[in-house]
Amino acid sequence: MAVTSPWASSPHPARRRPTCTLASGTAASSVVWVANRGTPLTNGTSSAPTLTLTNASNLVLSDSDGRRVVWMTNVGAASSSSSTEAVLLNTGNLIIRSPNGTTLWQSFDHPTDTFLPGMKMQIRYRTRAGERLVSWKDAGDPSPGGFSYGCDPATSIQMFLWDGSRPVYRSTPWTGFRVKSEDEYLLTNTSAIIINLAFVNNDEESYTMFTVSDGAWHTRFVLTYSGKLQFQSWNSSSSTWVVFGQWPPHECNRYGYCGPNGYCDETVLPIPTCKCFDGFKPMSTEEWDNGEFWKGCQRKEALRCSDGFMPLSGMKPPDRFVIVGNTSLRECAAACGRNCSCMAYAYANLSSSIENRDLTRCLVWVGELVDTGRLGASTASDTLYLRLAGLDAVKGQGAMP
């Protein structure tokens, strides 16, 4: 199927696992979407595979001999029309469109390894979980690989990068920002890419979406087969994808790298490093000094139930929290304070970020604090209230070691 620039769609019978793909017209080998990832085409004959639009308004991909359907959409009989058309938009979105202009199906609702501007990364639907990016198996095999990126199904307020079922990287829990200027990437002395990240949450769904500034290079987030989530832009002058951002960006940012009760201080440049909270010390000073942080930190002094909390601003809160909804900051503090096993809490008022909804977010932690970070000044950061022994809770007042 031939389409116009800047995107192209075609079967790839020459690949080791032949598939029907969407590729950037400016970088023909840069595939951004694959239809039949788990069911490769066969190329036993010289004839090309076929992609057809049926009278039932479905796209059907058939093997080269036409005898085997390897992939098809599921639009539904109610949408049948001989005037329905398949269109590849300049955004890279392949759609099936009815005569009245209604979109019946779109590839943007079925992501593979790439997140494009204008695409929704579904965090939650009303009746089911959201979507994930899934990496290729290797550089020449677009079948589903071992890495995936998507929403934490247990909480719906943070994103994870997984290697199989093992977490590799975790975002900060959502703090209530609706639209955030995520970053600005300088390309020349006179131009830049500005990324705007939006988070939308309503009764039907929750999703995140990003857009880029007008005139920006072709831009994408892609989950590589080596397990890195990268923000890339196409430089037509050098004919290369330029990587402007990568997650996890450092070893310190890998999930749980600093061990229990340790945190990754991202404000330390040029390389973030692991630290212990005030009132804590390394489990093994010798191993900690040698850069082995996995054992984490331990308290210098045992807690008493009457001990208070020290506010730590600019933090990425730990994982493994319990959500207590629709509370005030005082109620959140009280909920943690009256539980002698509660080690920390964090609070955010999300009401101003969600139209016509009253929503607050109280997170509490019982036990060890895992995968904590210090972000500094950021709309994505939180104030973490950490329970400390004795006067440390009074002295600290938000200070970090």
What mean pLDDT is reported for the chain?
82
Report how far residue 320's alpha carbon sits from residue 70's, in angstroms, rounded to the nearest whole number: 41
Q: Residue 374: what pLDDT? A: 97
pLDDT per residue as tens digits for the range 124-156: 666 666 789 999 999 999 999 999 999 887 887
Whether 39 shows a pLDDT value over 60: the answer reads yes
Q: Lowest-pLDDT range, 46-50, 227-231, 270-274, 344-348?
A: 46-50
Q: Residue 251: what pLDDT? A: 95
Report how far residue 38's alpha carbon sits from residue 143's, in angstroms, rounded to the nearest whole number: 5
Return the closest-CA partner of residue 312 out of 270, 392, 374, 244. 374
Q: Omega before 270 cis (within 30°)?
A: yes
Return the closest-CA partner of residue 215 out of 190, 238, 240. 190
Q: Residue 179: what pLDDT? A: 38
Whether 287 shows a pLDDT value over 70: the answer reads yes
pLDDT per residue as tens digits for the range 169-209: 999 987 765 433 345 444 444 456 677 776 777 777 777 88
Q: Residue 204: what pLDDT? A: 76
CATH fold of the domain at 111-249: Agglutinin, subunit A (2.90.10)
**170: CB partners within 8 A, 6+ apart:** 152, 158, 159, 160, 161, 255, 319, 371
1-110 and 111-249, same CATH topology: yes
pLDDT per residue as tens digits for the range 319-345: 999 998 778 999 999 999 999 999 999
Selected from 3.40.50, 1.25.10, 3.30.300, 2.90.10, the CATH number assigned to the domain covering 1-110 reads 2.90.10
**55: CB partners within 8 A, 6+ apart:** 80, 81, 82
Report how far residue 275's alpha carbon sits from residue 293's, in angstroms, rounded to the nearest whole number: 9
The residue ranges of every structural domain in the chain are 1-110, 111-249, 258-392
**307, 393 in Cβ contact below 8 A?**
yes
pLDDT per residue as tens digits for the range 222-262: 999 999 999 998 988 889 999 988 999 999 999 999 999 99
